[in-house]
């Protein structure tokens, strides 16, 4: 299948652009996936309701919960692209991931309660998957949930939880059968983040911001009706969520934006009274990076095309994520290197190029090679599932 021009998508792009111009909350231009400040949350809740209310997101949901009867296969990818181009935010938190699990595996009561509140922005969700010592090896998690009558008691620790300090609800994975094989004894839950025993600690990163959190769960009671799917079958619930997280339609947009700024940087920077862009070795490196950015866009489109045509596999999103992370890091490293001594200048320094954006991007870029599954683990996934190589 080819992803060509489509009048329906052209109209969709126009609608998203107009909405962004009129209503999108303005956020600081930072690299990566950055958590908002508490003061931004009310506006982001309202923005979430706007995106869903205009049926820009959630179009693949059941019609009775706000979806469209026959949405275009590329609808949400196009919306993500246009939001990224406009610098407008997606809904804060993991509501899309949680909604996917609830729609595919949840009860009618869960759908009726959670889905409208995700659409309205009333509920912000976080993803409680990763743990100390079991990040990319998700099935190696140690958080326990034991059944006691009409509820489970959960004990454990989660880490690298984006927006956990803003979340109302958490999409939790916990081990409910310690004797089962790693992938068999896991259960998915919806957990109220205001429950007694839930402690959230923001993690201050090298960027100076706190985008992630560690979550401590000490005797937290979770009602039985909050199980998503069946007990001990949480791995099945989880796999689709991970595939969604590892593929991002807006990722290519951010690379093209960084490439444009890199060209501006080398064009405006001089050494020995000559512009860097006039040096052959600089032009070669910028050209190499530009080619990689273009290949990333084609690879992403190829994976999306296969998914739309029903011919994709688990390796597509993993390969795209690995490629994006490596190119993003290479761009940030080169953007820093051409600044030489000025690379120590940061945000607020009048002499910093783009107000220190490159410095912030460099500090954050390594996270993209780790978050959502480390590139090393995802390469194994590509080798085993995509190429059929032995473990």
**Which residues are identified as catalytic?**
245
Give one DSSP letter per residue of 67-114, joined into a string: --SS--TTHHHHHHHHHHHHTPPPPSSSHHHHHHHHHHH--HHHHHHH
Cα–Cα nearest to 347, from 219, 246, 207: 207
Question: Using alpha carbons only, what angle is made at residue 56 by residues 54 and 60, rounded to the nearest 5 degrees?
Answer: 115
Tokens 């329906």, located at residue: 8
Radius of gyration of the chain (CA): 22
The one-character DSSP state at 36 is P
Count of alpha carbons within 13 angstroms of residue 164, beta-carbon side: 27
- As a whole number of angstroms, the distance between CA 309 and CA 302 comes to 11
Bridge partners, 215 (sequence order): 158, 200
Confirm if 278 and 269 have CB atoms less than 8 A apart: no
Residue 15 in tokens:
């609608």
Q: What is the 3-state secondary structure (H, E, C) of 157-170?
A: EECCCCCCCCCCEE
CB within 8 A of 264, min separation 6: which ones? none
Phi, psi of 129 (to 5 degrees): -110, -65
Residue 349 in tokens:
């320094």
Phi, psi of 201 (to 5 degrees): -125, 110
- As a whole number of angstroms, the distance between CA 25 and CA 46 comes to 9
């Amino acid at each position: 299948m080819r992803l060509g021009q489509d009048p329906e998508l052209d109209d969709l792009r126009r609608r998203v652009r107009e909405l962004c111009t009129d209503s999108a909350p303005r956020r600081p231009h930072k690299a990566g996936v950055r958590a908002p400040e508490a003061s931004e949350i009310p506006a982001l809740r309202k923005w979430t309701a706007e995106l869903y209310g205009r049926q820009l997101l959630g179009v693949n949901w059941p019609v009775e919960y706000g979806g469209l009867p026959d949405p275009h296969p590329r609808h949400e990818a196009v919306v993500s692209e246009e939001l990224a181009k406009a610098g407008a935010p997606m809904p804060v938190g993991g509501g899309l991931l949680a909604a996917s699990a609830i729609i595919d595996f949840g009860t009618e009561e869960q759908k009726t309660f959670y889905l409208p509140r995700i659409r309205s922005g009333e509920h912000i969700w976080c993803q409680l998957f990763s743990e100390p010592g079991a990040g990319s090896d998700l099935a190696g998690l140690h958080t326990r949930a034991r059944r006691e009558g009409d509820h489970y008691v959960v004990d454990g620790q989660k880490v690298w939880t984006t927006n956990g300090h803003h979340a109302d609800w958490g999409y939790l994975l916990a081990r409910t059968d310690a004797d089962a094989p790693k992938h068999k004894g896991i259960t998915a839950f919806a957990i109220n983040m205001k429950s007694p025993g839930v402690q959230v600690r923001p993690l201050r990163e090298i960027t100076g911001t706190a985008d992630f959190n560690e979550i401590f769960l000490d005797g937290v009671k979770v009602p039985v009706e909050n199980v998503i799917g069946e007990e001990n079958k949480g791995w099945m619930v989880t796999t689709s969520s991970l595939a969604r997280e590892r593929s991002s339609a807006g990722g290519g947009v951010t690379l093209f934006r960084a490439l444009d700024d890199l060209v501006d940087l080398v064009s405006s920077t001089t050494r020995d009274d000559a512009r860097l862009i006039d040096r052959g070795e600089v032009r070669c490196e910028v050209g190499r990076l530009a080619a990689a950015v273009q290949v990333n866009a084609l690879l992403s489109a190829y994976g999306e095309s296969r998914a739309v045509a029903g011919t994709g596999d688990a390796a597509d999103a993993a390969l795209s994520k690995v490629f994006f992370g490596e190119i993003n890091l290479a761009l940030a490293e080169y953007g820093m290197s051409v600044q030489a001594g000025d690379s120590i200048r940061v945000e607020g320094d009048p002499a910093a190029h783009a107000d220190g954006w490159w410095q912030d991007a460099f500090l954050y870029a390594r996270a993209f090679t780790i978050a959502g599954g480390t590139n090393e683990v995802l390469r194994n996934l590509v080798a085993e599932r995509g190429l059929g190589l032995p473990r």
